[in-house]
Amino acid sequence: MPVIIDGTNGITQAGEFNSSGSFGFKNRIINGAMVIDQRNAGASVTATTVTVYSVDRFFVQGSVTSKFTAQQSSTAPAGFTNSLLLTSSAATTPSASDYYYFAQSIEGLNVADLGFGTANAKTITISFWVRSSLTGTFSGAVLNSATDRSYAFTFTINSANTFEYKTVTIAGDTSGTWLKTNGVGILVRFALGAGSSFLQTANSWGTGNVVGATGTTQWISTNGATFYITGVQLEVGSTATSFDYLDYGRSLIQCQRYFEQSYNVGTVAGTATSDGCALSGGSVGGATTGYIEGPAYFKVTKRASPTILNWDLSGNVSKCNRTLSGVLSTNNSTSSIATIGTNAFSVNSASSANANIIQIQWTASAEL
């Protein structure tokens, strides 16, 4: 989209120039630069049969547990500081019903303008930097929430252990049901390996619940294979534009709509610490009975009422630190969570002994 300034024509601009692709929320992928890792602080996670989150908003899954790991990496191309690193844990040959992938679900509210499922569906372009110990043709897929509309795409890695920039352009789907709500609007998957049941022909819309395209590299089949990715961007239009860098604070806020914790960023949940803990009581909650409760407020409104986990200050799950007036505080005290909403929840503690303060650490997950 070059803009030319000269003495003859003044200011001219070639190529598509549109507000949705040029201003505001250009990149529909959140944390595409892989800088936010609230849960794991860079530690590795192992893919299982259920979704497991590595860096914020990106999850991994495999039909067989423990076949690969994922973690935030500081290996990155120029202009980036982090990437998502996948490492194969075994030489796994997928059966027809096997699948191994990483993905991000984009909220429907954030892609409602794309018009998928209508005659006015817009073309999208996905771009990213990728590096692998393997070369060849790799693949991924774009799906709707019901996983009954899908488009498998491919990209080629030419040189081993070298970051390469890739772009994929996809004509918007004019069929199917694509949510424009707080549910899954678009699911973007990157295949690490799959059997025939989870692959389909590349570059056309289909109806399979797939992770990638037929005939592409089975990365999962090489023990120790690595795959780095960063700068992931999904934007409106047929041209990949420069990565939409956000300041760290705004990236964190975007991620916290889906996951937030009371712990400091970089502290793994369950760590024994009082830093950042929610505190209730004092002069307001001073108890004359054995019961005390109070709220914990989120910094960012959640996509949905989130799942809550809580710990005391020693890392005991589902417990609180309970302070009796004039007495030292006690960890491993009973606690219960209630009234979970998109902005707050309450924690309560009942005991035969009076208390005037309770403290907890917590995580709140409203992932798609």
Partner 1 sequence: MYKLNKDIYSNEPTSVIRLSDNACIPFDPANTDYANFKKEVLAGAELQDADGNVMTDASAYIATLP
- Minimum Å gap between C-beta 318 and partner 1 is 4
368 counts as binding partner 1 under rule CB under 8 A: yes
Question: Side chain identity at 19, as an amino acid letter?
Answer: S
Q: Using the 8-state DSSP alphabet, how is residue 261 labeled? A: E
The closest of 199, 175, 186 to 95, measured between CA atoms, is 199
Q: Which helix (H) or strand (E) holds 205?
A: strand 205-206
The closest of 226, 220, 228 to 64, measured between CA atoms, is 220
**Segment interacting with partner 1, rule: CB under 8 A, options 146-154, 163-171, 278-286, 300-308:** 300-308
Candidate list 20, 87, 137, 182; residue touching partner 1; CB under 8 A: 182
- Minimum Å gap between C-beta 308 and partner 1 is 5
Candidate list 13, 334, 339, 343; residue touching partner 1; CB under 8 A: 339
Rounded to an integer, what distance in angstroms lies between the CA atom of residue 55 and that of residue 100? Answer: 17
Tell me whether residue 1 or residue 340 sits nearer to partner 1 (CB atom).
Answer: 340
35 counts as binding partner 1 under rule CB under 8 A: no
Tell me whether residue 69 or residue 145 sits nearer to partner 1 (CB atom).
Answer: 145
Question: Side chain identity at 216, as an amino acid letter?
Answer: T
User: In sequence order, which residues have a C-beta less than 8 Å from that of residue 149 and are 6 or more positions away?
Assistant: 117, 143, 173, 175, 176, 177, 178, 205, 206, 207
324 counts as binding partner 1 under rule CB under 8 A: no
- Minimum Å gap between C-beta 69 and partner 1 is 20
Query: Buried b vs exposed e over 215-241: b needs ≥16 C-beta within 10 Å?
Result: ebbbbbbbeebbbbbbbbbbbbbeebb
Structure-token pair, residue 112: 């409602």
**Segment interacting with partner 1, rule: CB under 8 A, options 143-151, 191-199, 210-218, 334-342:** 334-342
Candidate list 89, 167, 307, 354; residue touching partner 1; CB under 8 A: 307
Tell me whether residue 202 or residue 278 sits nearer to partner 1 (CB atom).
Answer: 278
336 counts as binding partner 1 under rule CB under 8 A: yes
Rounded to an integer, what distance in angstroms lies between the CA atom of residue 185 and that of residue 25? Answer: 15
Candidate list 115, 183, 208, 315; residue touching partner 1; CB under 8 A: 183
| Residues facing residue 261 across a β-bridge | 363
Tell me whether residue 68 or residue 258 sits nearer to partner 1 (CB atom).
Answer: 258
Question: Which residues contact partner 1 (rule: CB under 8 A)?
Answer: 182-183, 293, 303-310, 317-318, 336-340, 346, 348, 365-368
